[in-house]
Amino acid sequence: MPARTLPTFTRAQVESHNSKKSCYVTIGSKVFDVTDFAADHPGGADLVFDYAGRDIEDILKDPTSHPHSDAAYEVLDDSIVGFVISEKAAAANGNGKANGNGNGAAKQLDGFCPIDAKDDPDVHPRTGMKCEEDLSKDTDYNTDYSRHKFLDLSRPLFPQIWFGGFSKEFYLDQVHRPRHYKGGASAPLFGNFLEPLSKTPWWLIPTVWLPAVGYGLYLASEAYDNQLWTLAYWLSGLLIWTIVEYGLHRFLFHLDYYLPDNRVGITLHFLLHGIHHYLPMDKYRLVMPPTLFILLATPFWYLAHIIIPYSWHAATAVYCGAIFGYVCYDLTHYFLHHQNLPLWYKELKKYHLAHHFLDYELGFGVTSKFWDTIFGTELQYRVKAN
């Protein structure tokens, strides 16, 4: 599935696509490739090619020629390939050019500013995000809802998702456009007695799971006179967690392409991970509630003992190592969003925020980029020097 982060074009680049073989038009800042659509245009292909490389916003609204319907704009939306930026902004990308390559694919995420830069001129065209302060700007509920017709942040979100009748395509596009609830508080999810159950403070994770890990290791260690065996199995579990973390994030939390196009699939996706991408700075929906983690972790308990049938103690030590890795993952995830961190973590923070605000279909590693590099999903972006 192609990345949803679209390239940028200068006006000159758009104007160069002015032939029957490559016909681009713009409406405001949006760039559309209408080459294939031209043959299906009700007014004939020649009328489309007459405006190749030009802006068509006025002509679409012209009552004399033909005011176009909402359906016409929906057809155009299927052909969007990028956004127009000024020559000045293009030059600021570091190579003097916009990143449009003429085929609608974003090869590299140029211009993503570092989270500590205060004067970067680039604003990402889809999310509108720029620097760290933009991540905490309150969303205007009324304006956002009237524009996108998605979710009203002033009302409980769960019934809106369940009864909204959203298509999968529309839902995925909207849920990955980050919003920010006023003051960084939690938006209402259920709006009733279930509301407290949907929130988990970060400190609950080590409080619940570290004692369990410690007790499990104690039981596992009883089988060995040399505790290096216990340590070896525990470290093995910690290593296994890193690939589990990557796999869960990529193939479960971002099951976007295979998501059922119905309200059950969309609602489950929203509750599991979609709400985090929709409201990524919500402090109480950043870590996994213990009840949900028990559901996800239970199969792995049995899997560990199936893989290591010769020793209950060894399997338990491996499992404890994996659970410890999960605790590190959840705490890292929280701190990447909400804390100032040492230098190495600052780079990791930029990487994870790029996953949210540039391209959610890449950059699945949270505690490290290792498996992204191995499996070719590393998110690359150009950070300009201050």
The values of phi and psi at residue 24, to 5°, are -110, 145
Please tell me what DSSP assigns to residue 75: H
Least confident of 118-122, 182-186, 217-221: 118-122
| Structure confidence at residue 358 (pLDDT) | 81
3-state helix, strand, coil in the chain (%, to 5): 50, 5, 45
E-strand ranges in 301-359 read none
Model pTM score: 0.67
1-26 tens-digit pLDDT:
333 456 788 888 899 999 988 899 99
Residue 124 confidence (pLDDT) above 60: no
Residue 172 confidence (pLDDT) above 80: yes
| Structure confidence at residue 44 (pLDDT) | 72
Q: Where in the chain is the domain with CATH 3.10.120.10?
A: 8-107
77-98 tens-digit pLDDT:
767 888 887 665 555 444 444 5
Element (H, E) at 31: strand 30-33
Distance in angstroms (rounded) separating the CA atoms of residues 44 and 346? 54
Q: Which residues contact 195 (CB under 8 A, 6 or more apart)?
A: 188, 189
| Structure confidence at residue 112 (pLDDT) | 38
Query: Which residue ranges make up the annotated binding site?
Result: 41, 68, 249, 254, 273, 276-277, 333, 337, 352, 355-356
Task: Select from 3.40.50.720, 3.10.120.10, 3.40.50.300, 3.30.930.10 the CATH code of 8-107.
Answer: 3.10.120.10
Query: Which residue ranges make up the annotated binding site for heme?
Result: 41, 68
Distance in angstroms (rounded) separating the CA atoms of residues 209 and 240? 18
Query: Which residue ranges make up the annotated binding site for Zn(2+)?
Result: 249, 254, 273, 276-277, 333, 337, 352, 355-356
